[in-house]
Structure 1
Amino acid sequence: MSLIATERNIFPQSYRGRLTEGVTYDYRNNNLLWIDIIQGEVHRLSLDDLNKHDVLKWPDPKESIGFVSLTERENVVLVAAKSGLAYGDFSTGTLKYFFKYPFTEEETHRLRSNDGIIDPWGNLWIGVMTDFPVSAKEGVQAEGKLFRITPDLKVDVMLENTKISNGMAFNDDGSEVYWTDSLNFTVYKFKYDHEKNALSNKTAFIETKHFYPNENDPEPDGLVRTLNGDIYSAVFSTSTILHVTESGELVEKIQVPAKRCTCVTIGGPDDDDLYVTTGHLKLDDFDAKIDADDMFGDLGGFLFKLKVGLKGQKKNIWGGKVDA
């Protein structure tokens, strides 16, 4: 099987973002969710009625959003913002912090949330990394962490001294964890002991330099696991989605007409549509116009939808109690 995305696969046709990421399918109501990290936005689109496209946006331009997940309430999402966790309520159109990370004052200035996952027990695993204004001057530093945050807001540091902590997945029983180390061009697999909350046996599962020997920076980004154990990983700067088997063998590279592929998920009514988010080539130029009518050149910033024929894992729901 060989898939190629074109402008015909843009979905939805009327929308184009700056740095779209974190795409998530809500199987309870057939909604598609995604974020625009730099714009500080959460988007929700009804796949039953494409005219129902709701947006939550931080009013503070210094804010960003690295991750979004489902909660027990269908109208409320968990949002990993710059320096902590917020609830986004689509019924009121609001975003509001309820928890701040245990950052020092300096870390609060330097770090932001990036990608994460809800594990099978309802805990949040969230990576934090060098924030945009700092990395623009100094580059991304090995100052990040991977937190596990329980529903009662206990924080454990699972990994330290990371750069870009990215796409994650658990196997079916939660005994294995996939974690993306973007700037080391590797998706690692760990053994995970839930009772002890301990990671062990770190092994390289995907080394993108192996699959992209002619690319300088094939950074693996967001990923999704299928029910049969395959992995789809968006590989930033390569215009492709890498599809491998459970043993890490190449199945295909899905071509996308956008250089900066950022994240993937599987969902839709038959649970076999692959949704892809991408970044605009001028994502950090706020004077650049992001034009959804412009179909010339690189199509970064658009989302794409392709039929893959494999079913994806359902997203787990945050175990925290959402106040009414």
Structure 2
Amino acid sequence: MQVELAVPAAARSGRAPTWDIGTDTLLWTDPPTRSAHRFVPGRTDHAMELPQQVSAAKTRSHGGLAMHLDEGIALFDSTGSQRTWLIYWAREGAEAGATMIDAKGRLWATTLGEGGWLVRVTGEGSAHIALKDLPAGNGIAWSPDNTRMYLSDGAARRVDVLDFDLTTGDCTNRRPLFEVDGEPGGLAVDASGHLWLTVRDRGELRCYTPAGDLDRTIPLPAQRPTDCCFGGPDLTRLYITTATDEVSEPAEADGSILVIPNLATGVRPYSFAG
């Protein structure tokens, strides 16, 4: 398996790789440095500084970006110069966590820390707490047919599955799908329904079947992979963010963006309807 270095960054904790199908670029963030990035494959990586930690930058159907900051969800225009708070939930001790957009354009986000939650946000700005007492929701994904929602729980060291109603946005019947002998990070689902999971304290990428069985393990040159997504014009390149924080002796690949070509075909990413 060929693992390549896409962005030779020195990110403290790279997060939320997101393929922008409109521009064929990769969005990603580094919360400790309060920066959001846009990587143009084969060319350069542009960084944008934010006033607080940012865990994710997602495309908007109306142009611009929706960013998950520690204090809530903010909307930025296409130039990145104008910010408007959509949801403001400033809470002491809470940090921005995982963020994903479902097929109806709703934004789902977790907060990290004691009393963390999973919230569903519509394009109009209404918010609904879907799950409470979730201190380490590290990843969110859906099955290709949108009937199942997956949640990576770093505190419980497992990946859970919920029944999902795409029309209403309801997620119910949360149950364990599989245990992880390590800290599960972000995850991505391919077109066949397999789950690709980063294991943060193992330096591994793992593939699980929809039934929760381990299909394969890919060792990575980075010690602390954090998240992953499918990208490229045909969605056949898996991008993996990594971290240097909590790595005692970082190697060249630590803190970089890795990419594995021709691994599988991903599911089309969606934009936030706000």
**TM-score, length of structure 1 as denominator length:** 0.79
Partner deviation per Cα, 1:117-150 (whole Å, 9 max, x = no partner): 11111111100122xxxxxxxxxx3x10110011
What is residue 198 of structure 1 aligned with on the other side?
170
Q: Which residue of 2 aligns with 1:21?
A: 15
Separation in 2, partners of 1:156, 1:187: 22
1:80-104 CA distances to partner (integer Å, 9 max, x unpaired)? 001111234463x43624234345x
CA radius of gyration, larger in: 1
Of 136, 142, 150, the residue aligned with 1:164 is 136
2:54 to 65, 69, 84: 65
Counterpart code for 2:73: L
Partner amino acid for 1:56? M
- Structure 2 counterpart of 1:252, one-letter code: R
Matching residue within 5, 8, 15 for 1:10: 5
- Corresponding position of 1:229: 193
1:145 is matched with which residue?
117
Q: 2:65 aligns with which of 67, 73, 77?
A: 77
Distance 1:88 1:19, change over 3 A: farther
Q: Corresponding residue for 1:115?
A: 98
Q: Read off the aligned partner of 2:66 and give its amino acid letter.
A: L
1:176–1:192 Cα contact (<8 Å) kept? yes
Equivalent-residue separation in structure 2 for 1:79 and 1:102 (angstroms): 14
Match of 1:101 in 2: 88
Counterpart residue number, 1:37: 31
Aligned residues: 274
Pair 172,282 (structure 1): closer, same or farther in 2 beyond 3 Å: closer
Superposition RMSD on alpha carbons, in Å?
2.2
2:47 aligned partner: 55
Q: Is 2:74 the counterpart of 1:86?
A: yes
The structure whose residues are more often strand, as a share, is 2
Q: Deviations over 1:141-161 (max 9, x none)?
A: 3x1011001111111110001
User: Which digits, 9 at most, give the CA deviation of each residue in 1:255-312, with x for residues without a partner?
Assistant: 11222110001111232111110010457x9xxxxxxxxx973732111111143110
Any gaps of 5 or more consecutive residues in structure 1? Answer: 131-140, 210-217, 286-294
Residue 203 of structure 2 corresponds to: 239
**Amino acid across the alignment from 1:198:** D
Structure 2: how far apart are the matches of 1:254 and 1:4? Answer: 10
Is contact 2:74-2:84 (8 Å) kept?
A: yes
| TM-score, normalised with respect to structure 2 | 0.92
Higher share in helix? 1
User: SS at the partner of 1:38?
Assistant: helix
Q: Distance in 2 between matches of 1:171 and 1:296?
A: 35
